[in-house]
Structures are given as structure tokens and as C-alpha cells.
């Protein structure tokens, strides 16, 4: 979008494009912001035709405002909250993953991010009978692991097969492959992404990777950490809510990623893990 060319919109012929270009009007913005009377005189074009052209270009390339009441109606029918299948995680997320939002799971290596993704995929495909698009850029997804999770939910092989069929896997090992996969997605979805941790340069504190420009994008962020202190076994993790549009941050839950669900959690602790 930008350059004026023949056929871009009705009324924009090659002749008109040439005449305009001759006067330094090359882009849509140039034409829309120009003084049309002056342009009409200099280019020998009809003022009325230029005004009509401007209106058509604006209608075609500008965004259309929605009324709040209409939007609200539509939202009431199309929004859903998808349970992750992990009770403690659902608590941190205020019932689950919201459609229309991006939820980020961040943690160091071995903290259980991929495990959480697999659990969620299995729950949505089997428990909620919905389709899942799993974009794997780390190679952590295996069919056998998914099957294991489903087998823990139901012994019925047909159900397991049905759930597996609802999970579409895309391998994307560079950003362009990932963008391609996302372009094809049309319906209202809830998005869950994982991110790695990195160290802040000055203070040495751990913080999510990808920097500030990314950090604005997700509405919700959960930090996974290997649990510390007495009683922390190999498969226990603490999940801490560090960003949320709905709930106060700082709450922690304990998740056992070894078993399917959670163990009896300690009462929600406040405070930052690092």
C-alpha cells in the first residue's frame, strides 16, 4: 500500500497516474493530503474527479470505526475461555486462556514450558473437543508424548485418535515459516506462546527474553521456575503470574508437571520469585 498505480482503485487510470506523478504526487498519502484545487489546475484534471478519487482511496485504505455496542454484542457470542487442564494454572489465568488474547509462558531451560504446552494441547483437543494449531520451533513436540498424555486421560483408543487428529503440528524453525503458518489462521483463537529467559546486563537479574518490544504484546505472562525449598521434588514447578489484565500479579501456584494435574497446592504466596 502506498504507491499510486493504474487500477489501484476505480477511476485511477494510467494517464491519471502519469499526470499526478509529473507533479510529484506518487503515493496515496500524497494525493490524500494534497490541495486538490491546486492539483486540478496544475495537472489539468477535473476537480470533481479528484475529490471522488480521494474519497474512494480513503474508503479503500483507511480503517473503519466500530461502534462499542455492536462490538460488545459480537464479543459476547464469540469469546471463549479455554481451560488449560491444569487447575493451578487456570487459577492464575482467571479460569483459562481467553480467546483473542496472547498468553506467554516464560522460564529457563527445563522449567516445564513445553510440558505445559503439551498438556494444554491435549486438554483442548480431548477435553474441549477443539482444534489446536501447534507451532513447534524447538523440536520439543513428539507424537508419543502427546499420546501418553491422552492415554492418561482416557483408555478409549478412538477418543485418543480423535484428539490427535484435532492437533495440527507445524514445524517452524525460522521466523518466516512461523509467519506463514500464522497468516493462514483465520478463526478467533487463544494464543499461548513460550519464551526463554535471559539475564539483564546491569543487575544480573533474570528476565524474559525478546526485550521490551515483545514484552508489550502478551496480555498475560506466567513465569515457570524450578521450585526451591523443602519438599521440592524433581517434577515440581512454581508458576508465578507476572503480568495480567485481570488479576493482581505476584500470585504463585505449585504445579507438578510429572503427573497430569496438580498436587495439593500450598496457599497462594505473594512476591516475586527472583
Partner 1 sequence: MCSAFHRAESGTELLARLEGRSSLKEIEPYLFANEDSPVLGDILEFHGPEGTGKTEMLYHLTARCILPKSEGGLEVEVLFIDTDYHFDMLRLVTVLEHRLSQSCEEVVKRCLGRFFLVYCSSSIQLLLTLYSLEAMFCGHPSLRLLIVDSLSAFYWIDRVNGGESVNLQESTLKKCSQFLEKLVKEYRLVLFATTQSIMRKTSHLREGPSSAFTHPSDAGVDYRPYLCKAWQQVVKHRIFFSKDDSKTSNQFSLVSRHLKSNNLKKHFLLLEKVGLSFVHMYHKMVFLQDGVQVLKSL
Is residue 48 within 8 Å of 24, Cβ to Cβ? no
Q: Kind of pairing, strands 132-136 and 167-171?
A: parallel
Beta carbon of residue 63, minimum distance to partner 1 (angstroms, whole number): 5
Beta carbon of residue 132, minimum distance to partner 1 (angstroms, whole number): 22
**Nearer of residues 64 and 176 to partner 1, judged by Cβ:** 64
Beta carbon of residue 134, minimum distance to partner 1 (angstroms, whole number): 22
- Going from the C-alpha of 85 to that of each of 95, 127, 214, 269, 270, the distances in angstroms are 10, 8, 27, 22, 23
Beta carbon of residue 153, minimum distance to partner 1 (angstroms, whole number): 30
Beta carbon of residue 55, minimum distance to partner 1 (angstroms, whole number): 9
Q: Could you count the other beta carbons within 10 Å of the beta carbon of residue 136?
A: 15
**Nearer of residues 30 and 136 to partner 1, judged by Cβ:** 30
- Going from the C-alpha of 88 to that of each of 201, 226, 241, the distances in angstroms are 33, 16, 11
Measured CA to CA, the distance from residue 267 to residue 107 in angstroms comes to 22
Gyration radius (Cα) of the chain, Å: 26
Beta carbon of residue 253, minimum distance to partner 1 (angstroms, whole number): 15
Give me the residues that bind partner 1 (CB under 8 A), please.
1-2, 28-29, 32-33, 57-59, 61-69, 71-72, 75, 79, 101, 202, 212-213, 215-217, 219, 243, 245-250, 270-272
Measured CA to CA, the distance from residue 159 to residue 166 in angstroms comes to 11
**Nearer of residues 6 and 58 to partner 1, judged by Cβ:** 58
Q: Could you count the other beta carbons within 10 Å of the beta carbon of residue 4?
A: 20
**Nearer of residues 113 and 221 to partner 1, judged by Cβ:** 221
Q: Grid coordinates in use for 43?
A: 495537472
CA atoms within 13 A on the CB side of 30: 15
Amino acid at each position: 500500500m502506498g504507491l499510486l498505480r493504474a487500477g489501484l482503485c476505480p477511476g485511477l487510470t494510467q494517464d491519471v497516474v502519469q499526470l499526478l506523478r509529473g507533479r510529484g504526487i506518487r503515493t496515496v498519502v500524497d494525493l490524500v493530503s494534497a490541495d486538490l484545487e491546486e492539483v486540478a489546475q496544475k495537472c489539468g484534471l477535473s476537480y470533481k474527479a479528484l475529490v471522488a478519487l480521494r474519497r474512494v482511496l480513503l474508503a479503500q485504505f483507511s480503517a473503519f470505526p466500530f461502534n462499542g455496542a455492536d462490538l460488545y454484542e459480537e464479543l459476547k457470542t464469540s469469546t471463549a475461555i479455554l481451560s488449560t487442564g491444569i487447575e493451578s494454572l487456570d487459577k492464575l489465568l482467571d479460569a483459562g486462556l481467553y480467546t483473542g488474547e496472547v498468553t506467554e509462558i516464560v522460564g529457563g531451560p527445563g522449567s516445564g514450558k513445553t510440558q505445559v504446552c503439551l498438556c494444554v494441547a491435549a486438554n483442548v483437543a480431548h477435553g474441549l473437543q477443539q482444534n489446536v494449531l501447534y507451532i513447534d520451533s524447538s523440536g520439543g513436540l513428539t507424537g508419543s508424548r502427546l499420546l501418553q498424555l491422552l492415554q492418561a486421560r482416557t483408555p478409549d483408543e478412538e477418543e485418543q485418535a480423535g484428539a490427535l487428529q484435532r492437533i495440527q503440528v507445524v514445524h517452524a524453525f525460522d521466523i518466516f515459516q512461523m509467519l506463514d503458518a500464522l497468516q493462514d489462521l483465520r478463526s478467533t483463537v487463544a494464543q499461548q506462546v513460550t519464551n526463554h529467559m535471559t539475564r539483564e546486563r546491569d543487575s544480573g537479574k533474570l528476565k524474559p527474553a525478546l526485550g521490551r518490544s515483545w514484552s508489550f504484546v502478551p496480555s498475560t505472562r506466567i513465569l515457570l521456575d524450578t521450585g526451591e525449598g523443602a519438599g521440592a521434588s524433581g517434577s515440581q514447578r512454581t508458576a508465578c503470574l507476572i503480568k495480567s489484565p485481570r488479576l493482581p500479579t505476584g500470585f504463585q501456584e505449585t504445579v507438578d508437571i510429572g503427573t497430569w494435574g496438580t498436587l495439593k497446592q500450598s496457599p497462594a504466596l505473594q512476591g516475586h520469585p527472583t
